[in-house]
Structure 1
Amino acid sequence: MATRFFSRVLGKLLGRTHRDVLIGYNIDSSSSSSSSSSSSSSSSSSSSSSVVVVVVAAKVVVVVVAAKVVVVVAAKVVVVAVVVVVVVQIVVARAAAATVVLAVVVVVVVVVVVVVVVVVIVNSSSCSSSS
């Protein structure tokens, strides 16, 4: 979702569709068609390299934003887990039961965070390998 948003913004800035920005194709077609064959190859390569840099920078921004979202969500999950443990300690009034619940909640939170981070990394690497 964040990738689509940033690619649309970048596409509007470049005057292209967000699919062109994501894939990296057809970005330099207008600049190369208007010039001669010798100058079109040089302008095409310079335009292509600058577009690749912009696309890679946009993908890095997307990954950083996604990582920040993962951290914020993980922090909220930890806060909810602590509240649940405190409520369980108050209701049950047994330290052993609350400790077991806390251990289970911490393990679940760690597993969820690791899975989300791995999914974000895999998605970002698959996006960067397609361009």
Structure 2
Amino acid sequence: MSVRTPLAYVLIAGICIALHNAVIILADRAGIPLWLAVLLSFCVVAGTGYVLHSVFTFRRPLASTALVRYVVAMLANIPLAFVTIWFWHQQVGLPMVFASPLASVCMLALNFLLGRWAIASPNRWMTRG
């Protein structure tokens, strides 16, 4: 892993976090239930994250197998985002403008490991017949 990989990851993760938090906060202000806001965020961020991480972080060509693995790996974010946001917002009582970014920070390491597995590892499991 080159020095560029962690820097690219941090920058792209920042873009994804900003998109995620924008969707969550705007959805909350619009009165959209948290579960639906998390699903909307997933749709926006998964596609953006896959393309940017493939091209800049892991320098791999876009491929359908990697996209499928990335989406599957990022599906872990749906319950994780819901629970962490719910905890900070509902249980601790933080306003969504603070709860959502705090929950995002809690999820960074997991997302790096899952993204790296999805994009940068060999396609063995998708090519077995």
Asked if Structure 1 and Structure 2 have the same fold, meaning a TM-score greater than 0.5 normalized by the shorter chain, the answer is no
Query: Quick check: which one's helix share is greater?
Result: 1
TM-score of the two chains, using structure 2 as the length reference? 0.36
Q: Which has the higher contact order (CA 8 A, sep 6+)?
A: 2
Bigger Cα Rg: 1
